[in-house]
């Protein structure tokens, strides 16, 4: 139940961030054009869109971290599989598990480093102030140049995304141990072809991909 909710949240979040970032940059470009039109000029210069680029970057970085976690569950991450394909099934299985464990370890380390960074650069301050228990010598942390939000908020995607990704690696690893199945992503899928000819396509990078 909770897991299903998490799956949907992840899917909707990345789709929303992709669409919203496109819309924001489109509006910013449109604004620049309209600011050149004499009739609209006065009205346009009053709207400030200098934050658009920064917002777009933050949205895409968030998308990248959560999309990477989504990618683990759906097998989009490309790997090198020449060796794994050459090995006997039992040895290949060990290799795949080593690969998945590597992913889990890496994301766990990064998540922890990120969490510490976020904590020390403003979250600690924000939390203790919100709770009203702040000491006098807490570091407030920097704010971003255009949006002027505390930087720990956008940076929070590193611990959140990495821990989620770590969870996904463990989940995929567990599914692989119990069922022997790995998620498989079809990079050559094309909409609107009469028959889906691509289902049997096995690309070298897909079979043993984690």
Using the contact rule CB under 8 A, the part of the chain among 38-46, 126-134, 150-158, 173-181 near another protein is 150-158
Nearer to another protein, 129 or 202 (CB): 202
Q: Which residue is it, tokens 């505390």?
A: 150
Q: Are 170 and 106 in contact (CB under 8 A)?
A: no
Cβ 88 to another protein shortest distance, Å = 14
150 scored as a contact of another protein (CB under 8 A): no
Per rule CB under 8 A, count of chain residues that contact another protein:
77
Cβ 162 to another protein shortest distance, Å = 8
6 scored as a contact of another protein (CB under 8 A): no
| Helix residue spans in 80-156 (DSSP H) | 82-86, 89-118, 124-131, 152-155
Q: Are 51 and 146 in contact (CB under 8 A)?
A: yes
Cβ atoms within 10 Å, residue 204: 13
183 scored as a contact of another protein (CB under 8 A): no
Nearer to another protein, 129 or 189 (CB): 189
Cβ atoms within 10 Å, residue 54: 16
* CA torsion, ordered 27, 29, 35, 37, to nearest 10 deg: -100
Cβ 189 to another protein shortest distance, Å = 8
Q: Are 138 and 128 in contact (CB under 8 A)?
A: yes
Q: Binding to another protein (CB under 8 A): which residues in 110-149? A: 110, 113-114, 116-117
173 scored as a contact of another protein (CB under 8 A): no
The one among 49, 68, 166, 172 contacting another protein by CB under 8 A? 68
Cα angle, residue 94 at apex, residues 91 and 98 outer, rounded to 5°: 140
**What is the DSSP-derived secondary structure letter of residue 77?**
S
208 scored as a contact of another protein (CB under 8 A): yes
**What is the DSSP-derived secondary structure letter of residue 121?**
I
The one among 49, 84, 166, 172 contacting another protein by CB under 8 A? 84
Q: Binding to another protein (CB under 8 A): which residues in 7-46? A: 11, 14-19, 21-22, 25-26, 28-29
63 scored as a contact of another protein (CB under 8 A): yes
């Amino acid at each position: 139940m909770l897991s299903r909710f998490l799956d949907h949240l992840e899917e909707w979040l990345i789709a929303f961030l992709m669409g919203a970032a496109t819309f924001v940059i489109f509006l910013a470009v449109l604004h620049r054009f309209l600011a050149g039109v004499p009739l609209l000029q006065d009205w346009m210069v009053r709207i400030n869109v200098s934050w658009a680029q920064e917002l777009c970057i933050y949205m895409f970085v968030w998308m990248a971290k959560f999309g990477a976690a989504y990618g683990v569950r759906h097998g989009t991450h490309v790997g090198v599989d020449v060796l794994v394909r050459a090995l006997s099934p039992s040895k290949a299985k060990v290799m795949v598990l080593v690969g998945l464990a590597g992913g889990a370890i890496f994301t766990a380390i990064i998540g922890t480093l990120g969490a510490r960074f976020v904590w020390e650069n403003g979250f600690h301050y924000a939390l203790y102030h919100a709770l009203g228990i702040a000491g006098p010598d807490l570091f407030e942390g920097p704010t971003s140049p255009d949006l002027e939000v505390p930087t720990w908020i956008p940076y929070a995607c590193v611990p959140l995304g990495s821990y989620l990704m770590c969870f996904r690696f463990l989940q995929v690893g567990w599914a692989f141990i119990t069922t022997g199945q790995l998620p498989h992503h079809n990079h050559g899928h094309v909409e609107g072809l009469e028959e889906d000819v691509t289902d049997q396509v096995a690309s070298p990078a897909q079979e043993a991909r984690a």
